[in-house]
């Protein structure tokens, strides 16, 4: 087949820190063009900033593209008035101002078990429903103007098609007013949370259903949440658990039955294929490393060198990395702490190592929690910006206690969105078979690693209990 027969699809990852675009061959998934643009570093953002980043990142890339899909950071609250204008800047998943609203809503519905039964998750400040409650209480006049509520990827998809707003069950499952088990909104929960108001919600599309077309005729797929798109790109199956180290740290697997964890550690999301995606999420991942590098006044490569020059356990130094508060465990007001400082161990090497170990320990606790939800963990697939870190790659098998594979470096969220676009274009029952190379770089923990990993995790949990009583 010659290059004139090549069909191209584009995938967009509109995540916390940036927009990334991958243009792929629709049959094989081979990446042919890429683009990127940064987002503002704030927890409330005018959605227009995402549109600017989208236009800048896609500039000159979409010629000949037959279909496009958008994956976005989950949970963000986008409010739109009758005329289609944004009512206030979107509150992002990592904005913790709605922590009290989360606690109030949890009690009002009858406690954590009632939420887990109703929508598969217990709300924390990240969930859209808590942001709507915050708005109803703090900005009632603005809340009165809200005609529609959308998620970041819904809003971008809507701007692309100009049609009726749509979403998918994966992203909808992070709102707190959609039941993944039933595949339906709980508008009663939304209305109660939003002070009796009834905003319109996007229609929930099937996984391969098209959202519409752009004005120049490009097919637009349903889109989804960023974690769901990564799962689609990696085609994860039984025994695979993804750990994503971006702004958030996430741990998730895919399964056939919905999860409902009343402890709130695991959110019972839906995936982008019709299955389910239990997920644990921390607020502090890649930025723990960038903040530590800044403190030590070194580049990320030097941080890696320092961390790998220290012994496992950092000679007793433990860092609880709650630099932006924390979501799992639910400690929105927490700050970070360092334990075990002595004159002898107070070195840049040990601090760098403690930062990497501390970040990974938060995810190790998430791994245990998804395991308890029935996900089997035979290997971890490490993705996201901080998966590029050499120290993270080396230390992760020890802290996680399972083999860790780093899939070929790529923007897996954008590739998943592109694969969804190819699926909508093909109209087939299953997504197109794309090449995925995950197993080739598997790092196994050694026997010694197991013991050291256990000690590092234990010390992390003890430090956490000491300060935060959890
Ligand atoms: N080699 C590296 N070591 C550590 N962190 C890195 C490295 N490369 C990129 N990062 C960090 O990864 C983050 C971006 O990851 P990404 O998954 O794109 O985030 P998000 O999806 O939240 O926007 C940034 O904080 C960046 O500094
Ligand atoms: O809130 C969650 C998951 O529930 C986050 O994972 C967001 O979806 C943001 O992801 P990144 O931008 O950090 O990739």
pLDDT tens, position by position, for the chain (470 residues)? 335 578 999 999 999 999 999 999 999 999 999 999 999 999 999 999 999 999 999 999 999 999 999 999 999 999 999 999 999 999 999 999 999 999 999 999 999 999 999 999 999 999 999 999 999 999 999 999 999 999 999 999 999 999 999 999 999 999 999 999 999 999 999 999 999 999 999 999 999 999 999 999 999 999 999 999 999 999 999 999 999 999 999 999 999 999 999 999 999 999 999 999 999 999 999 999 999 999 999 999 999 999 999 999 999 999 999 999 999 999 999 999 999 999 999 999 999 999 999 999 999 999 999 999 999 999 999 999 999 999 999 999 999 999 999 998 789 999 999 999 999 999 999 999 998 776 656 788 998 899 999 999 999 999 999 999 99
Strand pairing partners for 242? 252, 381
What's the gap in Å between 19 CA and the centre of ligand 2?
13
Annotated binding-site members: 74-75
pLDDT of residue 5: 74
Q: Is the separation of the CB atoms in 317 and 353 below 8 Å? A: yes
CB of 17 shorter than 6 A to ligand 1: yes
Strand pairing partners for 220? 68, 212
How far apart are alpha carbons 11 and 16 in whole angstroms? Answer: 16
Annotated binding-site members for substrate: 74-75
Q: How far apart are the first and last CA of the chain?
A: 60
pLDDT of residue 4: 56
Q: Is the separation of the CB atoms in 68 and 19 below 8 Å? A: no
Q: Which of 75, 250, 286, 370 to mutate to test the pocket of ligand 2 (most atoms within 8 A of CB)?
A: 250
How far apart are alpha carbons 76 and 301 in whole angstroms? Answer: 32
Q: Which residues of 434-464 are buried (b: 16+ CB within 10 A; e: fewer)?
A: bebebeeeebebeeebeebbeebbebbeebb
355 vs 214, 276, 280, 321, 342, CA distance in Å? 45, 32, 20, 7, 16
What's the gap in Å between 252 CA and the centre of ligand 2?
12
pLDDT of residue 101: 98
Query: Rg of the Cα trace of the chain?
Result: 21
CB of 94 shorter than 6 A to ligand 2: no
Does the annotation mark 13 as catalytic?
no
Q: Is the separation of the CB atoms in 23 and 9 below 8 Å? A: yes
Topology of 8-222 in CATH? Nucleotidyltransferase; domain 5 (3.30.420)
pLDDT of residue 436: 78
pLDDT of residue 1: 38
Topology of 236-407+439-469 in CATH? Nucleotidyltransferase; domain 5 (3.30.420)
Ligand 2 atom with the smallest distance to the CA of 174 is: 4
Q: Whose CA is nearest to atom 6 of ligand 1?
A: 386
Helix, strand or coil, per DSSP, at residue 187: helix
Take residue 101 and report the two structure tokens written for it: 């609203």
Of 249, 226, 227, 261, the residue nearest 121 (C-alpha):
261
**Quick one: which ligand is closest to 277's CA?**
2
Three-state SS annotation for 191-216: HHHCCCCCCECCEEECCCCEEEECCC
pLDDT of residue 378: 95
Q: Is the separation of the CB atoms in 288 and 351 below 8 Å? A: no
Q: Which of 13, 25, 168, 226 is catalytic?
A: 226
Q: Where in the chain is the domain with CATH 3.30.420.40?
A: 8-222, 236-407+439-469
413 vs 18, 83, 249, 296, 419, CA distance in Å? 12, 32, 14, 31, 10
């Amino acid at each position: 087949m010659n290059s004139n027969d090549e069909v191209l699809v584009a995938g967009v990852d509109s995540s916390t820190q940036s927009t990334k675009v991958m243009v792929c061959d629709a049959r094989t998934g081979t990446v042919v063009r890429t683009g990127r643009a940064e987002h503002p570093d704030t927890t409330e953002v005018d959605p227009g900033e995402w549109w600017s980043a989208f236009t800048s990142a896609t500039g000159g890339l979409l010629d000949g593209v037959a279909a496009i899909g958008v994956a976005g950071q989950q949970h963000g609250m986008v409010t739109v008035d009758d005329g289609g204008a944004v009512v206030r800047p979107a509150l992002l998943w990592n904005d913790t101002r709605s922590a009290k609203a989360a606690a109030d809503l949890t009690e009002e519905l009858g406690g954590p078990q009632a939420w887990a039964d109703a929508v598969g998750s217990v709300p924390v400040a990240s969930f859209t429903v808590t942001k709507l409650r915050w708005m109803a209480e703090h900005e009632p006049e603005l809340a009165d103007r809200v005609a529609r509520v959308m998620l970041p990827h819904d809003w971008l998809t809507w701007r692309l098609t100009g049609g009726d707003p749509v979403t998918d069950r994966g992203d909808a499952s992070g709102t707190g007013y959609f039941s993944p088990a039933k595949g339906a909104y709980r508008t009663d929960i939304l209305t109660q949370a939003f002070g009796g108001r009834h905003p319109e919600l996007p229609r929930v599309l099937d996984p391969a259903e098209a959202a519409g077309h752009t004005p120049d005729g490009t097919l637009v797929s349903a889109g989804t949440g960023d974690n769901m798109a990564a799962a689609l790109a990696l085609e994860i199956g039984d025994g695979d658990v993804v750990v994503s180290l971006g702004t958030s740290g996430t741990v998730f697997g895919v399964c056939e039955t919905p999860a409902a964890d009343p402890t709130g550690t695991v959110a019972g999301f839906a995936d982008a294929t019709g299955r389910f995606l239990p997920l644990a999420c921390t607020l502090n991942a890649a930025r723990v490393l960038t903040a530590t590098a800044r403190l030590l006044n070194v580049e990320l490569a030097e941080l890696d060198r320092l961390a790998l020059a220290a012994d496992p356990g950092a000679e007793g130094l433990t860092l609880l990395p709650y630099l932006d508060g924390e979501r799992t465990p639910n400690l929105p007001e927490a700050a970070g702490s360092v334990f075990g400082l002595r004159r002898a161990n107070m070195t840049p090497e040990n601090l760098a190592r403690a930062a990497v170990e501390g970040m990974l320990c938060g995810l190790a606790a998430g791994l245990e929690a998804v395991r308890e939800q029935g996900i089997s963990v035979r290997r971890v697939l490490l993705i996201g910006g901080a998966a590029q870190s050499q120290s993270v790659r080396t230390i992760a098998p020890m802290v996680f206690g399972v083999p860790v594979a780093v899939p070929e470096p790529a923007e897996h969220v954008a590739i998943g969105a592109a694969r969804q676009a190819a699926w909508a274009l093909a109209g087939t029952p299953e997504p197109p078979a794309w090449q995925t190379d995950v197993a080739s770089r598997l790092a196994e923990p050694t026997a010694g690693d197991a013991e050291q990993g256990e000690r590092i995790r234990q010390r992390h949990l003890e430090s956490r209990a000491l300060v935060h009583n959890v």
